[in-house]
Amino acid sequence: MTIQQIKYFLTLANELHFWKTAEKIFISQSTLTRQIKSLEDELNVQLFERDKRNVKLTDAGKFLQEKWATTINELDHIHKQAKKIDQGTSGFLSISYPGSIAFSYLPPFLEKLNTTLPDLKLELTEPTDENHEKLLLDYETDIAFNRDEIKNTHIASHKLFSESICIVVPTNHWLTEKNLGNFNDLKDEKFIISGLHRSTYFPSLLRDLFNKNGFEPKTVIESDFGGMILNLVAQELGISILPYSYTFSKAQNVRFIKLNEEIDLFINWRKSDPNRTTQKVIELAKNINYQNQLLN
């Protein structure tokens, strides 16, 4: 029994059609039939019930489909990670991040990486659902910058810094830091914000903020992309609430008004990751003195 035979079996178990499966995995139908028959003979288990028209999994086949799918997935993750470890400092790392740091923390971090580890290849991902925990556990990313600490026994987290969240308004808007007395004064404003129905961190923070001040915002546009939100605010289509990091975007025709609320940035990684390059990158991230820039 080989890994390749198991992969053939799993593809056939999904397709339930020998010709379509053979075409999908680029082998002849007769080769596929021989491989499946060889697997059944070795296991002494019938995996499929088949006649001239239909192919169905047996109960034993269904059981092995579930178990082997998990095993093959784990093996793929292990092989992928082994390649990264073997490549060392000239290898490859995947990093996921929230869009809010694209203008602020991320550029100096990447500059530091390029100077210290010039041969390192990076894949940068800004996941829209912000499910960084799943990306780490599935080995789809190696390092995840996230706005909240990932609490999982297999993941380590380190807080990098805190920053204010801000109301973002067009330059000519009536609101200023001096006349912002009661947040409730904004109840009639049009908001351009993340969808408050989402369970991810920033929408939850906004939802709590509005609930605490006793009103539901008049949301005219929902978006999770800060750059888009800034452009829409600049066009005077509404106001928004974003992390202070977006001030580094140098967007025109917008002003940022700090609120008495803060948001954090954490770096997260797999505890069991033996890749020394990953650890070097984590230490570099920790040593960037970004907090001083936020205070200036």
Over 60: is that where the pLDDT of 113 sits?
yes
What's the confidence (pLDDT) of residue 182?
A: 80
Write out the two tokens for 194: 């993340």
d(CA 212, CA 191): 17
pLDDT at 224 over 70: yes
| Confidence category of residue 66, pLDDT binned at 50, 70, 90 | confident
**Predicted confidence band of residue 219 (pLDDT cuts 50, 70, 90):** very high
Closest by CA to 110, choosing from 290, 293, 271, 242, is 290
Domain residue ranges in the chain: 3-82, 87-161+265-295, 162-263
pLDDT at 108 over 60: yes
Cα 58 off chain centre by: 38
Question: Beta strands 190-193 and 48-50: pairing type?
Answer: unpaired
Query: Tell me, what's the pLDDT at 87?
Result: 57
Decide if pLDDT at 43 tops 70: yes
**Average pLDDT for the chain:** 87
Q: Are 3-82 and 87-161+265-295 the same fold in CATH?
A: no
Per-residue tokens: 192: 């351009």
Tens of pLDDT, residue by residue over 174-206, are 998 888 878 888 989 999 998 888 878 888 899
pLDDT reported for residue 167: 95
pLDDT at 112 over 70: yes
Does residue 88 have a pLDDT over 60? no
Residue range 162-263 in CATH 2.60.40.10: no
Domain with residues 3-82, CATH architecture: Orthogonal Bundle (1.10)
Helices (H), ranges, the chain: 3-15, 18-24, 29-43, 59-87, 106-116, 132-137, 201-212, 226-234, 276-286, 291-295
From CA 203, how far away is CA 209, in angstroms rounded?
10
- What pLDDT does 294 receive? 57
Token output for 45: 């288990």
Contact yes or no for 192/238 (Cβ under 8 A): yes
Per-residue model confidence (pLDDT) at position 257: 94
Q: Is the pLDDT of residue 296 over 60?
A: no
pLDDT given for residue 187 in this prediction: 87
- Cβ neighbors of 123 (< 8 A, separation 6 or more) are 92, 93, 94, 95
Question: 117-167: per-residue pLDDT in tens?
Answer: 887 888 999 886 657 888 898 888 999 999 988 999 999 999 999 999 999
pLDDT confidence of residue 130: 58
pLDDT of residue 277: 85
> Domain 87-161+265-295 falls in which CATH fold?
D-Maltodextrin-Binding Protein; domain 2 (3.40.190)
The least confident of 109-118, 152-161, 228-237, 285-294 is 285-294
Q: How confident is the model at residue 292 (pLDDT cuts 50, 70, 90)?
A: low
Show the CA angle centred on residue 151, arms to residues 146 and 152, nearest 5°: 115
